[in-house]
Amino acid sequence: MIRLTDLTKRYGKFTAVDSINLEIRRGELFGFLGPNGAGKTTTMRMIAGILQPTSGRIEIAGDDMAREPVRAKSRLGFIPDRPYVYDKLTGAEFLRFVAALFGQEGAAVEHRMDELLDLFELSTWKDELVESYSHGMRQKLIISSALLHRPEVIVVDEPMVGLDPKGQKFLKELFRAFVERGGTVLMSTHTLDMVEEMCDRIGIINGGRILTAGTMAEVRAQTAHGDTGLEDLFLKLTGGITDREMDEILK
């Protein structure tokens, strides 16, 4: 479970995230949408404990990120859009390093690591330096590292970047299976089809504020946009470009 209470982040006079209140329950896959610069990544980086909020509260499975950061972080797996890896470590060394940071060592880690590397078809590459990995392989490695300590909550930023169609399908199935087992997934993406297909609830953020949140039906009802698809709904809420404006530009 993720609970955000009056979460705010300011950089000087600029407010990147403005008093967000949001609860993502156990067994829920939540799609976090918004245009570029809306505050999605800032919010996710605060949830992951990378950034400190200016004010407000973040709870991960009941643990307060400010008061109990170590406990809260140990319940969380974060998958960034750009893999945080070290080129001069091998895949196996990187995973062992991450496991050690989560306080896990020994045979159990080796077993879990082999299991994940098999799952992501990286076994034959595990002793190669990460610098020789493709972007997709790096993404798979970072996903493996996020799952290594068996988190209860996964926060994921643009998960499909760099993955081939097979990898994308696998990841979708993985997230669904994770939430069906009682996990929580907060996923930020611009791929609206995937959100419609996968997410139990969505939230749309713009200008640092949550414009709407709920199931697709609830969001449609809240915004009085009838039976429109997510793309139209998103563009109407966030001020997307109209066909007439496009014609003007292309003239």
101 belongs to the binding site for another protein (CB under 8 A): yes
Among 25, 67, 82, 236, binds another protein (CB under 8 A): 82
User: At its nearest, how many Å lie between another protein and the CB of residue 87?
Assistant: 7
Counting residues that bind another protein (by CB under 8 A) gives: 31
Is 97 or 231 the residue whose CB approaches another protein more closely?
97
Q: Is 100 in the site for another protein (CB under 8 A)?
A: yes
Q: How far apart are CA 208 and CA 106, in angstroms?
A: 43
Q: Which residues make beta-bridge pairs with 186?
A: 30, 155
Stretch that binds another protein, among 73-81, 170-178, 193-201, 236-244 (CB under 8 A): 73-81
How far is the C-alpha of 20 from the C-alpha of 39, rounded, in Å? Answer: 10
What is the smallest separation between the CB atom of 236 and another protein, expressed in angstroms?
34
Candidates 23, 93, 128, 196: give the one binding another protein (CB under 8 A): 93
Q: Which of residues 39-58 bind another protein (CB under 8 A)?
A: 45, 48-52
Binder among 4, 7, 20, 76 for another protein (CB under 8 A): 76
With CB under 8 A as the contact rule, the residue among 10, 57, 71, 190 that binds another protein is 71
Applying CB under 8 A, which residues contact another protein? 45, 48-52, 69-74, 76, 78, 80, 82-89, 93, 97-98, 100-103, 129
